Amino acid sequence: MVVLNPRLAALAALLLAALADADADADASFTDLSFSRPSSASHVVSSDLSPSSSGTTLSASTSRLTASASASLSTIASASLSTILSGSSIASVSSVLSTAASASASSAVASSAAASSVQASTTGSGPPLETTQITLPISKYPFTSFPVPEASPIPGVFPQTSPKSPPPPGSSLIPDFGPAWERAHARAKKLISGWSLEQKVATTTGVGWMGGRCVGNIPPVADFPGLCLEDSPLGVRFTDFVTAFPTGITAAATWQRSLIRARGLAMGKEFKGKGVHVALGPMMNMGRIAQGGRNWEGFGADPFLSGEAAYETILGLQEGGVQACAKHYINNEQEHFRTQESSDVDDRTEHEIYFHPFLRSIQAGVASVMCSYNQVNQTYACENDRTLNQLLKDEGAFQGYVMSDWGAHHSTLAAVAGLDMSMPGDITFSSHTSWWGANLTAFVQNGTIDEGRVDDMAERIIAAWYLLDQDQNYPEVSFNAFDMTDPATNAHVDVQDDHFKVVREIGAAGTVLLKNTGALPLNKPRSIAIIGNDAGPSSRGPNGYSDRGGDDGVLAMGWGSGTAQFPYLVSPLEAIQGRARQDSSGAQVSWFLNNWDLAGAAATALEQDVALVFVNADSGEDYITVDGNEGDRKNLTLWENADALIEAVAGTNRNTIVVAHAVGPAIVEAWIDTPNVTAVVWAGLPGQEAGNALADVLYGDVNPSGRLPYTIARRPSDYGAQLVTGGAGSEILRIPYTEGLNIDYRHFDANNIDPRFEFGFGLSYTTFSYANLNIRALPQADRTSAALEAAWAAGKPAPARAGGATALWLHRPAFEVTFTVRNTGHADGTEIAQLYVHFPNEGATGAAEPPSVLRGFEDVAVQRGGSVRGRITLSRYDLSVWDASAQGWVKPRGTIAFSVGASSRDFRLKGTVPV
């Protein structure tokens, strides 16, 4: 490991001091920078994160920097810091700083411009490329800990609790984890009080890639046993005797909080059972790009749906005893050039779209957050003061710790900007170098970083450990992620229990019926043709491709680090054969699994009662390329000759049912209106019980209730945001989020684009009607925040203060919407009732929101002929927009309307909010 020795550290500090003295005027504002809680001024200075005004994403005092020294040192930092930490000699460091000092005066104006707005260049017709990145200047950074907002418990609204005892799924109770966090932090502070600086630093620094038995490892320190961090968001990766759960996108497609919670709880128990302290999930990036490689790990393309799924998953995981990790924070929306791209996002869009799922994670008491590979407004996400300190720790009052994604740590000074843990600890995998470790120690010893900040980092990490009671008889790590066959380090502990039941239930509930002309449910067909490679098992077995990096056989998860080993994988071919035998001993099942022999497929389907055609679309993480798809999909077509296969079968069989296992939306225009295509089933990525879950739906044992968590367009160009490609070498790709709030269905609505299947759409084997809409303001017995609530009602922005984004008064239920759902069909079923808010957009004072935004949903189970009263609550936060100028949530002027219905385009009831 390359470190600064004391002599070199001292010399660097002296040289930096000399630079500062050379510009005394700048020194006053520069050397006293604090990367702790920003003052109220920051809410004015940093009011907008637009590409044109967010060049410096630092806290208030940094934002006020205008002197040339600050700008020149910011430019110096990118060279001198990297030189210092790459093991340069004293002479070379002196040369760098000397050269920079001599140039600082002449380049002051230019440096200031570079620091405040990054220049972009365009080569030909390619994407914009960044020529300069914003870095942290080397200086002295005092630290003041973030204040923790105080809130009193309110019975029936805000009860004190711990992660072991969360409120039930879908409850309107807001859990108060504050006292549990307070106790955990007190114990952590006491534990580290006697530690040396080196011990505290060790707690923040991973041992390096493959330095332990988990994908990430924090070493033991004194009485602290260290931490095991392990993927993935759908199960324990790199070990055996675990469950391969449905993916996040399939869980979201259920729109059922109870099932999402059950999945989280089952996963939490399995992670704990294997000795994992930190489960690296859930993933909650927004699916901004339909082709995005890792969209399937997350919960869809709407912030509210994603936020609710993240909230329930985290409550479940942590009830199971493992620390959850909300990732990837933030704006990590495509795989191409993910480590060399800048997502340029305005402040309002950041708050309303991309920050929201993380805010809900904080409310769920999440222990950790993983910052992402990309830059955000030209500053790397893992050293971005604006997103880490101001949004997450100040506005969100996040009390856990921030870890880097693996290799996303870029400097020692990232500690100043809010990073708490370096993963896996080395600069590049197995390099035996580290930005932290001895280098962080040296930066504290030479006065660059306040030791109080290191105390804060270690305390946050240890507090999360205490919060989950992991100090009490926690299982030892029982596997080796890097050598699953080593008998000495793998105990082969079976943690599966009966979790296959949850997998099967979610797989069925997350299946979306897109088209049905009466072909489904199957009614004892005498002859069945099963067509397509996706129907059968892989020729290599379920785990034959490393990290599932191959498309062969039924697709039940994508590829990359978000995967797990299948204990088994039930194919549709296996499940349908078994189910057909239950109907009649005389049923005939034939199959043809070659997607490219169209004549053979058509011949197999000829004269069969039903032909089931199985197709898929895959994607994953960028370190694996499958059929030319480097993580992100190259296009939105179904894979392996799927369109031609469907057309060939439909040309010979008048009852062709298409089943698609897909990572996200795909274009289906080539065959969707073909009369012989009598049904389309969108089966998602259902995990190990794929075939059984599908058979449950096909045969009507489960009435489909899944709904799309994204829009399926008619043309790829209909989507508002497109994959940005290009870039080479060390270039930074610029990705402007010019669509703002209008992602997915919001874009379609705002631009009057007709989708093929809208967000929230899904059919059932029965029908439902809606009636008797009512809305009322909920009475409040307490007057805890009466003044704030009155100011909000008057249209005044919420005050900018610590914890303001998660304040109880903003999030407690304020209005109750009720309605009646009647089952008007011939089968019991579950309706997913959805509530969309329509903000006033007229005139100069309009909210400038999309036409409709999801703000509530409820799964309503109704027996045939019966009716059930549905209930959805709305908070003041649900009825607010982000005011970037005031830096607060505000109720827009005018009438706020809402609709309740079956999808984002199928509104059955309409009303207005009485505010």
Give the helix ranges, DSSP H, for 521-615. 572-583, 598-605
Choose among 345, 359, 346, 354: nearest CA to 395: 359
Phi-psi region of 710 (alpha: psi -120 to 50; beta: other; left: phi over 0): beta
Q: SS3 string of 651-698?
A: CCCCCEEEEEEECCCCCCCCCCCCCCEEEEEECCCCHHHHHHHHHHHH
Active site residue 426: no
Structure tokens at 605: 């389907």
Q: CB of 375 within 8 A of CB of 732?
A: yes
- Quickly count: other Cβ atoms within 10 Å of residue 532's Cβ: 29
For the beta sheet containing 401-404, the strands, ordered from the edge strand earlier in sequence to the opposite edge, are 216-218, 227-230, 278-279, 323-329, 368-371, 401-404
Structure tokens at 533: 């490679």
For residue 76, CA distances in Å to 214, 420, 426 come to: 37, 25, 24
Nearest-angstrom CA–CA distance, 590 and 576: 11
Query: β-strands 897-903, 906-912: how paired?
Result: antiparallel
Give me the sign of the Cα torsion angle 620, 622, 625, 631.
positive
Q: Cα Rg for the chain, rounded, in angstroms?
A: 28
Give me the sign of the Cα torsion angle 230, 249, 49, 879.
negative
* DSSP codes joined into one string, 808-865: HHHHSEEEEEEEEEEE-SSS-EEEEEEEEEE----STT-----S-EEEEEEEEEE-TT
Bridge partners, 554 (sequence order): none
The letter for the amino acid at 740 is G
Q: CB of 368 within 8 A of CB of 325?
A: yes
Nearest-angstrom CA–CA distance, 469 and 240: 26
The letter for the amino acid at 540 is R
Nearest-angstrom CA–CA distance, 37 and 394: 6
For residue 352, CA distances in Å to 93, 172, 743, 893 come to: 44, 21, 11, 18
Nearest-angstrom CA–CA distance, 529 and 613: 8
Choose among 804, 49, 878: nearest CA to 396: 804
Nearest-angstrom CA–CA distance, 473 and 210: 26
Query: β-strands 897-903, 278-279: how paired?
Result: unpaired
Q: Which of 240, 405, 551, 718 is labelled catalytic?
A: 405
Nearest-angstrom CA–CA distance, 270 and 279: 10
679 phi/psi in degrees, rounded to 5: -160, 150
Give the catalytic positions in this structure: 405
